[in-house]
Amino acid sequence: MPYLLPRSLTENRNLAFIFAFGDLSYLEACTTLGERLLKIEQPWSEVALAEMKKDKGGYEKLVGIHKVAISITQETKSWSNLVTEVEDFLRELDDDFNFSVSLYGSELADEQEHESLATAVLATVRKAGFRKANMVRPRNGSEVLTKEIVSRKIIDFVFLRVRGGYWVGVTAYIPDTEQFRLRSNERPVVSADISMSSRLAKLLLNISGVEKGQTILDPFCGSGTILSEALLAGVNCIGVDRDRKRIENTKRNLEWTSRTLSAKSASYSLKVGDATRPETFEDSAKVDAVVTEPIFLPRITFAPSLERAQKLVRNSSRLYSESLYSITGIVKQGGRVVIVTPALTASSGKEVSVVLENLEEVGLVPFQPRVKHFDYPAKISHEKTRWVRRLVYVFEHR
């Protein structure tokens, strides 16, 4: 179950999102919350401050966040200015909660600063009548793990260092990410060498804007991680891969998703084919969106030379350009293409990435969320290896 503060305490239109995937999470928030957002700013990659319309909510759909916090006061330079507002907030609570403090900043938060905030919060909480209040300290760094917040029934005070002071709030919502770990690990075919996590697949689907009853295409479907998440959301799936074995793997995973996770309302069709050839899609129905990762570089344990990096990455540029050319024709007008590309940091420090060419010619323009202009590519900040990164582009078919 996700963590959710009692509704009566979450009636606030000023929120902070703490992101798990940096800019990509920001893009998910902007696209998914759409009309509900009045304003959003991203003081640094892992955080956004948002003002929502009165018909709040909708953030339960986001999977790229660690947590959502609601504001409890005006921005302030010191905790002592806040005591009355915090006391008001605490009045609404039973007395069986634990407490914690999470401190975030564009630079690594300071442990001493965290400790002095935790001491000040604890004193206020005790003064407000929570005499046995327990302040849970982080195991390391300056935030308590979200898992612990959920399991130990913690009221988590969130401090964000902004504009020379603090934005202060309380964690109101934490998504259930355990479900993604289970799906990633328990499906019949787990191909860690080529697959993305189920959570990232769902995040990309959210960015594609595809809805229940619509249809999605993954022309490089591998073991079907993206398609499985789509099926679960009631989205019809078309999968293509040039490798017959991979198509069989996708089929086994989709059958499992449909049977075990009861994703029965949507259908899927799979085909062995080369995504760079337009004839592969000749008899295909139109789709509402494409979400795909054509190349997933192998894990590299040392920085490659510039030459090797160029060979590994730039050689794939043609695959990207040709497949975008061949698939765009079956994407409905206004439909989005979400595509993941690899980038490598060479030993010289230079980043080498795929070049996507002639996009305007095929009718693909960068997708822009309503609230704010976005500069592509979105970098995924949380990556396992230092040298390989994922960059994500989102286009709209005009």
By CB under 6 A, name the binding residues for ligand SAM.
191, 194-196, 219-220, 222-226, 240-243, 246, 274-276, 293-296
Nearest approach, Cβ of residue 51 and ligand SAM (Å): 36
Say how many C-beta atoms besides its own lie within 10 A of residue 379's C-beta: 18
340-346-348 Cα angle (round to 5)? 145
- Pairing between β-strand 165-174 and β-strand 268-272 as defined by DSSP bridges: unpaired
Nearest approach, Cβ of residue 198 and ligand SAM (Å): 9
- Give the per-residue SS3 of 105-169: CCCCCCHHHHHHHHHHHHHHHHHCCCCCCCECCCCCCCCCCHHHHHHCCEEEEEEEEECCEEEEE
Nearest approach, Cβ of residue 260 and ligand SAM (Å): 18
Of 83 and 295, CB closest to ligand SAM: 295
Q: Do residues 253 and 222 touch, judged by C-beta distance below 8 A?
A: no
Query: Residue 80 corresponds to which amino acid?
Result: S
Query: Residue 274 corresponds to which amino acid?
Result: D
Of 66 and 246, CB closest to ligand SAM: 246
3-class secondary-structure state, position 177? coil
Of 13 and 251, CB closest to ligand SAM: 251
Of 168 and 233, CB closest to ligand SAM: 233
Nearest approach, Cβ of residue 243 and ligand SAM (Å): 4
Quote the CA–CA distance of 288 and 281 in Å, as a whole number.
14
β-sheet bridge partners, residue 331? 287
Q: Which residue sits closest to ligand SAM, CB atoms considered?
A: 222
Position of tokens 């949507």?
Answer: 266
DSSP codes, 306-331: HHHHHHHHHTTHHHHHHHHHHHHTTE
Of 187 and 379, CB closest to ligand SAM: 187
Of 160 and 196, CB closest to ligand SAM: 196
Q: Do residues 121 and 154 touch, judged by C-beta distance below 8 A?
A: no
Query: Residue 262 corresponds to which amino acid?
Result: S
Nearest approach, Cβ of residue 392 and ligand SAM (Å): 13
Of 128 and 196, CB closest to ligand SAM: 196
Nearest approach, Cβ of residue 291 and ligand SAM (Å): 9
Quote the CA–CA distance of 275 and 288 in Å, as a whole number.
17
Nearest approach, Cβ of residue 167 and ligand SAM (Å): 37
Nearest approach, Cβ of residue 295 and ligand SAM (Å): 6
Of 120 and 313, CB closest to ligand SAM: 313
Of 154 and 201, CB closest to ligand SAM: 201
Quote the CA–CA distance of 268 and 266 in Å, as a whole number.
7
Nearest approach, Cβ of residue 222 and ligand SAM (Å): 3
